[in-house]
């Protein structure tokens, strides 16, 4: 009985490997065949006017600045609050320089990534930056 079990298991491991490999190949082929989802173009949104955007962002910055004293410095909550302040201030600056509201969201991302240019550029993950840009887009569209 023991010998029969050993003989049966010799082909079982390569068989499992072959099935797993075939499954991976099929799954990879399916994922490559899917079309990537793209974000809607900036022009597809109904953006607020520059003056409305600046007013909204200034009120957001004031609210965030009032929260800073109650947050422990160096915590993720503190860093995220500073990141939002830096991003919103940078958007205001870009709009003042003549950029559209849509353009200013993209142009201001380096300020958010570096916590207001106080840390190295690779400090913030792309996921966090994407979420921050999406938050600003929702705030600045009608």
Q: How far out from the chain centre does Cα 118 lie? A: 20
Q: What is the pLDDT of residues 3-47, one digit of tens each?
A: 655 555 554 445 454 545 455 454 554 444 443 444 545 458 899
Stretch 128-140: mean pLDDT: 92
> Tell me, what's the pLDDT at 24?
47
pTM: 0.66
Query: For the chain, what is the domain count?
Result: 2
Phi, psi torsion values for 62, nearest 5 degrees? -60, -45
Cβ pair 102, 124 in contact under 8 A: no
Let me know whether 97 and 63 are in one domain: yes
Let me know whether 65 and 15 are in one domain: no
Considering just the CA atoms, what is the radius of gyration of the chain in Å? Answer: 25
For residue 1, being part of any structural domain is answered with yes
Let me know whether 127 and 70 are in one domain: yes
Let me know whether 56 and 27 are in one domain: no
Query: Tokens 């830096």 belong to which residue?
Result: 86
For residue 38, being part of any structural domain is answered with no
What SS3 class is residue 47? strand
> Tell me, what's the pLDDT at 111?
86
Let me know whether 55 and 15 are in one domain: no
- Tokens representing residue 20 in the block: 């797993």
Domain extent at residue 66: 47-139
């Amino acid at each position: 009985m023991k010998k029969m079990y050993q003989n049966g298991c010799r082909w079982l491991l390569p068989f499992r490997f072959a099935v797993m490999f075939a499954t991976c190949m099929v799954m990879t082929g399916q994922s490559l065949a899917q079309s990537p989802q793209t974000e809607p173009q900036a022009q597809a949104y109904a953006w607020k006017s520059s003056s409305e955007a600046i007013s909204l962002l200034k009120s957001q910055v004031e609210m965030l600045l009032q929260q800073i004293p109650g947050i422990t410095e160096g915590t993720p909550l503190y860093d995220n609050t500073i990141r939002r302040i830096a991003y919103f201030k940078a958007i205001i600056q870009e709009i003042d320089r003549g950029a559209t509201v849509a353009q200013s969201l993209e142009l201001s991302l380096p300020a958010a990534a570096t916590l207001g240019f106080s840390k190295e550029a690779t400090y913030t993950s792309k996921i966090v930056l994407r979420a921050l840009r999406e938050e600003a887009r929702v705030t600045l569209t009608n």
